[in-house]
């Protein structure tokens, strides 16, 4: 099956610093990748949709200057949380839509803790 | 706007019994429907999908789901539950009209009792 890899799985950073999370589709090309945030015991909240080679589309209420998304190739998208604060601590999950397909596959998620 | 409802936050089933996790949806046009499972501290794993064709869809780990257009439902089922099926299950929908975004339900926590 299709594999989506996220790295790092866990990251702790100091308040005010920036942290980057990578999302890679390992065995398929992904024209579209999605970034979600999940709070404890809650469903996934879509943050943004990124298409290869173009700017990401952010959902209402998501600060695009704080959550920088880059989709430089058909297999890699990155989420950078800039000037992180403790309230940014969360579980971030990426997903990828296979090129010419209709199934969206998810990464294993990344736990971010801002101290 | 598209939406998904999972009316049960928690479902408890005895091991060996059949299980059902309910899902209803609302979307413009023909729906693409998905079930995902999430284990603690992990991402989502794809279980099965309905795009077109037979209303009964079979997926991973013995799960199946039945698409019912008149009731706008896509309930997840398994004939005999295993303790290892205990997890959080999400139903999701997207429209077939070019909108690629998935809309998720709030999730149902399934607990299989030994």
Tell me which residue of B60, B112, B47, B63 sits closest to B85, measured CA to CA: B112
What is the mean pLDDT of the segment spanning B13-29? 95
Number of Cβ within a 10 Å radius of residue A33: 29
pLDDT band per the 50, 70, 90 thresholds, residue B99: low
A105 neighbourhood in chain B, CB within 8 Å? 46
Q: Is B9 on the interface with A (CB under 8 A)?
A: no
pLDDT in tens, A48-99: 999 888 889 999 999 999 999 998 889 999 999 999 999 999 999 999 988 8
Percent of the residues in chain B that have a pLDDT greater than 90, as a whole number: 79
8 A C-beta contact, residue B85 and residue B22: no
pLDDT band per the 50, 70, 90 thresholds, residue B30: confident
Percent of the residues in chain A that have a pLDDT greater than 70, as a whole number: 99
What is the mean pLDDT of the segment spanning B83-108? 87
Q: Is B36 on the interface with A (CB under 8 A)?
A: yes
Cβ separation of B90 and A34 shorter than 8 Å?
no
Q: Is B39 on the interface with A (CB under 8 A)?
A: no
Q: Which residue from A32, A102, A108 is facing B42, i.e. has the nearest CB? A: A108
Number of Cβ within a 10 Å radius of residue B82: 14
Q: Is the pLDDT of residue B56 over 90?
A: yes
Residue A54, both tokens: 């173009």
A4 neighbourhood in chain B, CB within 8 Å? 43
Cβ separation of B46 and A49 shorter than 8 Å?
no
Q: Is B50 on the interface with A (CB under 8 A)?
A: no
What pLDDT does A1 receive?
63
Report the C-alpha gap between A62 and B45 in whole angstroms.
25
Q: How many CB pairs under 8 A join A and B?
A: 49
What pLDDT does A39 receive?
84
8 A C-beta contact, residue B89 and residue B23: no
């Amino acid at each position: 099956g299709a594999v989506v890899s996220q790295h790092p799985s866990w990251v702790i950073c100091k308040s005010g610093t920036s942290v980057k999370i990578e999302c890679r589709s390992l065995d398929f090309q992904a024209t579209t990748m999605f970034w979600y945030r999940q709070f404890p015991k809650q469903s996934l909240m879509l943050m943004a949709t990124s298409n290869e080679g173009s700017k990401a589309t952010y959902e209402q209420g998501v600060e695009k200057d704080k959550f920088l998304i880059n989709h430089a190739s058909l297999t890699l998208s990155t989420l950078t949380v800039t000037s992180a604060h403790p309230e940014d601590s969360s579980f971030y999950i990426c997903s990828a839509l296979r090129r010419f397909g209709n199934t969206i596959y998810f990464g294993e998620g990344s736990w971010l803790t801002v101290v | 706007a598209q939406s998904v409802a999972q009316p049960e936050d928690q479902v408890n089933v005895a091991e060996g019994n059949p299980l059902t996790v309910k899902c209803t949806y609302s979307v413009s046009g023909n729906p693409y429907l998905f079930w995902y499972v999430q284990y603690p501290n992990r991402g989502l794993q794809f279980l099965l999908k309905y795009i077109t064709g037979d209303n009964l869809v079979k997926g991973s780990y013995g799960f199946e789901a039945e698409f019912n257009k008149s009731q706008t439902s896509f309930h997840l089922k398994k004939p005999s539950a295993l303790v290892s099926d205990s997890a959080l299950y999400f139903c999701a929908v997207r429209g077939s009209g070019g909108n690629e975004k998935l809309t998720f339900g709030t999730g149902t926590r399934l607990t299989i009792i030994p």
